[in-house]
Each structure stands twice: as structure tokens, then as C-alpha cells.
Structure 1
């Protein structure tokens, strides 16, 4: 089938690659000539394990053709996917008005936005006199493991009215829906709201655990023991119970903010979700507060190493990452910052342009630790899990480990001669 995918998002890249891999002819339209040039050179926009190779394979095979929006001639297609940046309703409307061909049977909106966008886009199609059916397939991929969460999903939300488009949509999703039926069919609004509600409950679990971690420090309780006990209760489960130094990224935070905005618009009391966001913003500075208390406020001129600045492992992106607020707090107190991250240093360099503060980007974790008065583990990349502790201790000026993700054993680390503090651990 001829398919067009519009967008320069990770969702667009995953959708285009996955559909091409299953035999469809996919034209992927991106918004800028720079992105188009990268794709024509065989370089994907987003680098994730396995996804780079699959993109290159489909591009080389000719099943995935990069196109430039508003320049490349529109190809006749049977299905159009809109996988634009969040809150791009106006752009989606323009694309439908200018790019939709007579042969298009189905428009699939994957773009995350306020509840009601899909209905408005559908009304726009009807006003144009188009017979194409519009369905909603909200983006549920998890960055860092995006391809697997699309091709082997635990759940897919499909918004379609009166069964319109469901048969064709199920056929498109059939290669990814074989183990069990993971497609949940509902109305357009219900699909959009379900996406936001899922993000809200996940964020709430994280912030709740961070509150419990803060309390456990006062009570002399190890939050990790409590976490395991909570996860063993089948009413609760294990997911998203890890305390840490806050969540970030372009998805979870913006989705919770979208829910809060809707609550404000409807004159409801948004107390819980607003508190979730406030808790998360406070938590982004928890390692700075521990550092400040350890040195009793005498931190000016000291040097801090940070391991990991991406908002989660597996991605090079730093949008809303906890490390950014942490770095700004350190800079405000005259602290020098040295950073290592396996993938995110280029994005961090762009973010740091024009900002005041000492920042050194390091090639190795041990380069970052040289002469450091503290090491802060912020993003739990696998290469950080088992360092050479004696080498690390030798590199640092003062061997203080501040573990923002509780990935280390406190007893073991202290036995190596380092001072250790985690989140909610004695």
C-alpha cells in the first residue's frame, strides 16, 4: 500500500520505518531541508538502538522515500499518517488542505494535542468534501526503546467512530498485533484523553515515590526495600515506582501540563496534577540540596561531575531533563560542572550556548570525575552501573557519590572508600 507519513518526530520515524519494513511503500515528509538532506544521506533524525539500522535498510531497499514537505510533489497514497510535534493542529489542518489526494482512504492522527483535535480535523475533512476517514492513534512509544514499543506493543489506543476505518487500521497494525489483541477501540476523544490520562498516572506514581523517598530519609528507612514490597502487591505492580531526581523529556511533562490546562479551562480543581509537577520540579534539585548540605553551603569554586544528562537512557535528547535544572542550580552557586553522557553532549552544548557558567564536556566518565568534589549520577546509562571504583576514587578530589537513580549498593560503595548518598536511603 502507498502510505505517506508527515512529521519530523521520533513517532514519524518509527511509524515510517516499521510500515516500510512490513512491505508498504512509504513516503516520509519532513518539514525542513536540513532534515531532508540528512535522510537522503541515509542518516535518521533520531538515533536509537536498532532503529538506525532498520531505517538504513528500508531506505536502501527503496521502500522508504524521504520527501520535503511543501516542495516534493505529493504522491497518491491510500493512507496518511500525521505524526507532528505536539500541539500542531494548525499545521495538520494545512497538510490536510494541501496534501490530501483523491485516493486517500484513511487519515491517522498520531499527533499529541488537546482533547478534541481529531474531531476538528475530521470536520475539516468533511468541509473539504473528502471521503477519507480520520482515526486517532495516539503516540504511546517509549523513547529509548521506541521501535520495540511500536512493533511489539502492550497496548494501542485506536479512536474511530462507528467502526469507520477500523478494518483498514487493523490490517495496517496486523504485523504488530499477533501475540494478542492489544488494540483498544474507542471514540476519538476517548483515545486522546486516554493518552493524556496514562501520562498523568505515570507521573503521579513517580512523584509519589519521590515524596515517599524524602520521608524515608527522616524515618531511617531504605526506600528501595519499600519499593520492592509495594511492587509485590498485585494491586500496585512494579512499574514507575523508582524514586530518583525527577522526570523530564518532551512527552511526559507536556502531557501532564496539557491535562492541567484542560482542568483550568473547565474550572475544575487541578490540585493533584499541579502538585505532581511541583514535586517533580523540586526533585530535579534534590542532588544539589544534598551537595549543599554535605559541604554546609561552602560550594563556591568546587567542581562537580555529572554522569548522564539525557532525560532518560537510550536517547540523546535533553528537553526538560532533570540535569538542566541541576546544572543551573550549581552554576548559580559558582560551581564548575563537568559532564559525560554517551549520546546527549551535542544537545547539551546547544542548550548551554549563551548561558553563564563553567561547563566542560568530557569524552569519558573518568575525565569528568577528575578533581571533582562530588559525582552526581543523573541518567542511569548502563556503562555507569559498574565503574572502576578505585580508579574513580583516585580521580576525584573528594570521593562523594550522589546517586540520583539508586543504581548502586550503598554498603559496597562505602566499602570502596567513597561517601555515598542516594534518594531515600540511609
Structure 2
């Protein structure tokens, strides 16, 4: 099929590349001329394992193209995917200005029947708005071209987005039109080698709701376990053992019940707020979602509070090594990362930070910790330890899982570790002479 993907951010680029990988002819459109030029030259704007070689392969095969003008890409196109950003507005709702701008351009330039697919994460009712905008532009032109608007939310984990797209747990499609549903089945058939049962066709509003509810549910599991961890510390229980005890129940499972420093990223914080706002606009107070958010906001400071409890509020003579800046391993994304809150809290009390992350240092220097006094960056994890008073582990990258503890001990002024991801064996570290702080277990 001939497809157009509007937006070359995380969702758009992964979506377009994976469709091209299956033999479709895909054009990714973005108004950022420099980004498009870079993509044509093989320069990828995001870090996602496996994406760069897949882009290069499909560009070479002429199945993947990049363009800056949408009007040049719609002729004889079967589907146009809207995959632009939906940033959080001041009131917590999703800002649809970019989505509706694309809808307007589609209405202005489409020349043949078209399926318009909302791939961006959008609130309930967005498809109706997109449909109305396109219809209005067609009316202005005096054209009567058939089109259908579909909701097809993405469920991609940063760090494993290629795997999620190529082998999906499910594909959700919101449409009431049987022919459109069948076309979507044809598009996704190569991703389901054995059965199409995992393609779920439903009404548009239910599809739009599904994305928000999925992320809110996962965020709820994280906040619930962090709440339990805080209680465990106070009563003398070990949350690591509690996690195993409850995770073995098949009704609960082990996913998303690891205690830590809270969730971050581009999806969970924004989507929880957007779902809260959707409920509010419908006249409902989402009490549980408010609690999920409140717990997460507090959890981001737990490691900083442990540092302050150990050293006191004056940290002007203290230097801390930080391992991990991204909100999760496998990505350079620092949006709403706990590391930002922890580092800013400690530096506000006079501390110096020596930070290392395999992928996110550029993001920190350029955006999230730009111009922050008291922070420096290291090219290696062990380099960040030199003459530091303690190590703070904030992101559970694989290269941090089995480090040389003798090297850590010899590099730090004192063998002290604050583990924001409960990654290490506390008993083993204590036997080696470390003072070890973690989440959900009294030190």
C-alpha cells in the first residue's frame, strides 16, 4: 500500500519504518526541513535500538521516503497517518492544535478517497473533530471526496518499539466502516503470522479511550507498588520480597510492580493528566487517578530525601556520582525523568553532581539540565565515581547490573550507594562494607 505518515517523531518514524519494512511504500512528512534532510542522510533524531539500520535499509530499497510537503504525498495514497505531537496544555488536557492542523491540510490537498488514521495519542472525540475539519475544507473546495477517520492508537515501549510494532500484543482499530476495517486488516496482516485475533476492531471512541486507560493502568501499578514500598520501610518489611510474593499470583503478575523512583517519560505523566481532564470535562472526579499522580510526584524525591537524611541539608561540600539520566533504560528520553528532580533538589542544597548515562547526556546538556550549576558529565560510569562521596543509581541500564564493586569502592570517598531502582543485592553489598540505601527496605 501507499502510505503517508505525518510526523517524524518517535511514533511516526517507528510506524513508517516498520510499515516500509513489510513492503509498503511509505512517505514520512515533517515541516522540519533540517530533520528531513538528516533522515535522508541516515541521521536519526531519536535513539531507539534497531531503528537506524532499518531506516537505512528501507531508504536504500526505496520503500521509505522523507518529504516536507504534505500536498505532494496524498495523490493515490491509501492511508494518511496523523502522528504529530499532542503536548499537554496548561490545564492538563491534550493540545490538539497540531493534529487539527494536519487534518486541515489533508482536507485542502487530498484528491482521491482516503483513510485518515489518528495514530497520535488523542482524547475521546478527536476523530469527530478531525472528520469535521477535513469535511469543512472539502466543502470550501467544492469537492465530494470519500474519506474515513480511524483511531489506531500506538502501544510502543521506548527501548523496544521495533519489537512491539513488528510483533504486537494487539492492534486496536476504531472504525464503524466494514470496508475500512478490512483495509486495516490487510495492512496489519503481515505482523500476525498465525492469527488475526489480536486485531481488535471497535467503535472509534472506545479505541481512543483504550490508549489512555492502558497507560493509566500501568501508571497505577507503579504508583501502588511505590506506595507499598514506602509502607514497607516504615513497618520493617522488605518490598523486594513482597513483590515476589504478590507477583507469583497470576492475577497480578510481575510486570510494572518494581519499586523505584517513580515513572516518567512522554506517555504516562501526560496520559494520566489527560484522562483526568477527560473525566473532569464529563463531570466526574477521578479520585484514583489523582492519587496515582500524587504518589508519583512524591516518589521522585525519595532518593534525594534519603541523601539528605544521611548527610543533612547542607550538601555544599558533597559530590555525588549519578548513574542514569533517562527516564528508563533503552532510550535517551528524559521527559519527566526522576533524575531531573533528584539532581535539581541536591544541587539546590549545594551538592556537586558527576553524571553518566549511555545515551542521554546530550539531552541533559541541551535541554533538561541545561545551564544547571554544579553538574558535570563523564564519558564512563567509573569516571563519574572519582572522588565522589556516594553513588546514586537512577536508571537501570544493563551495564549497571553487574559492575565492579571493588572499583566502585576504591573510587568513592566512602562506599555508599543510594539505589533508586533496587537493582543490587543489599546483603552482598553490606558484606563487602557498603552502606546501601534502597527503596522499600529500612537501611
Q: For the residues of structure 2 that align with 1:275 and 1:247, how far apart are their CA atoms?
A: 14
Greater alpha carbon shift after TM alignment, 38-47 vs 379-388: 38-47
1:265 Cα offset (Å):
1.9
Alignment: residue pair count: 426
Describe how 1:101-120 pairs up with structure 2 within 5 A.
101-120=110-129
Q: For the residues of structure 1 that align with 2:302 and 2:369, how far apart are their CA atoms?
A: 25
Q: For the residues of structure 2 that align with 1:35 and 1:26, how far apart are their CA atoms?
A: 17
Aligned to 1:231: 247
1:334 Cα offset (Å):
0.5
Pair 1:151–1:197, CA change in 2 (3 A):
same
Aligned to 1:258: 274
Q: For the residues of structure 2 that align with 1:163 and 1:209, how far apart are their CA atoms?
A: 42
Aligned to 2:236: 220
Aligned to 1:139: 154
1:73 Cα offset (Å):
6.2
Q: For the residues of structure 2 that align with 1:348 and 1:31, how far apart are their CA atoms?
A: 25
Greater alpha carbon shift after TM alignment, 145-154 vs 69-78: 69-78
Q: Does 1:121 align with 2:130?
A: yes
SS at match of 1:4: strand
Aligned to 2:89: none
CA contact (8 A) 2:112 2:145 kept: no
SS at match of 1:165: helix
Aligned to 1:316: 332
Q: Deviations over 1:227-284 (max 9, x none)?
A: 1111111221221101100110111110001011122222322221111111111111
Q: Deviations over 1:288-340 (max 9, x none)?
A: 11111112334222011111110111111111111001111011100001110
Q: Does 1:340 align with 2:356?
A: yes
Aligned to 1:40: 40
Pair 1:73–1:15, CA change in 2 (3 A):
closer
CA contact (8 A) 1:338 1:361 kept: yes
Aligned to 1:326: 342
Q: For the residues of structure 2 that align with 1:151 and 1:8, how far apart are their CA atoms?
A: 18
Aligned to 1:364: 380
Match among 97, 102, 105 for residue 95 of structure 1: 102
Pair 1:352–1:82, CA change in 2 (3 A):
closer
Q: For the residues of structure 2 that align with 1:403 and 1:353, how far apart are their CA atoms?
A: 21
| CA RMSD across the alignment | 1.7
Q: For the residues of structure 1 that align with 2:178 and 2:242, how far apart are their CA atoms?
A: 46
1:110 Cα offset (Å):
0.5
Q: For the residues of structure 1 that align with 2:222 and 2:373, how far apart are their CA atoms?
A: 30
Greater alpha carbon shift after TM alignment, 269-278 vs 380-389: 269-278
**TM-score, normalisation: structure 2:** 0.92
Q: For the residues of structure 2 that align with 1:423 and 1:354, how far apart are their CA atoms?
A: 28
Describe how 1:198-209 pairs up with structure 2 within 5 A.
198-209=214-225
1:14 Cα offset (Å):
1.0
CA contact (8 A) 1:119 1:189 kept: no
Q: For the residues of structure 1 that align with 2:362 and 2:396, how far apart are their CA atoms?
A: 18
CA contact (8 A) 1:136 1:192 kept: yes
CA contact (8 A) 1:212 1:223 kept: yes
CA contact (8 A) 1:4 1:81 kept: yes
Describe how 1:137-216 pairs up with structure 2 within 5 A.
137-180=152-195, 181-216=197-232
Could you tell me which runs of 5 or more consecutive residues in structure 1 were left unpaired when the two chains were aligned: none
CA contact (8 A) 1:135 1:158 kept: yes
Aligned to 2:55: 55
CA contact (8 A) 2:74 2:111 kept: no
Aligned to 1:275: 291
Aligned to 2:141: none
Greater alpha carbon shift after TM alignment, 317-326 vs 231-240: 231-240
Pair 1:5–1:88, CA change in 2 (3 A):
farther
Q: Does 1:419 align with 2:426?
A: no
CA contact (8 A) 1:13 1:45 kept: no
Q: Does 1:66 align with 2:82?
A: no
Aligned to 2:366: 350
Q: For the residues of structure 1 that align with 2:389 and 2:351, how far apart are their CA atoms?
A: 10
Q: For the residues of structure 1 that align with 2:70 and 2:20, how far apart are their CA atoms?
A: 22
Pair 1:71–1:397, CA change in 2 (3 A):
farther
1:361 Cα offset (Å):
0.9
Aligned to 1:6: 6
**TM-score, normalisation: structure 1:** 0.96
1:353 Cα offset (Å):
6.0
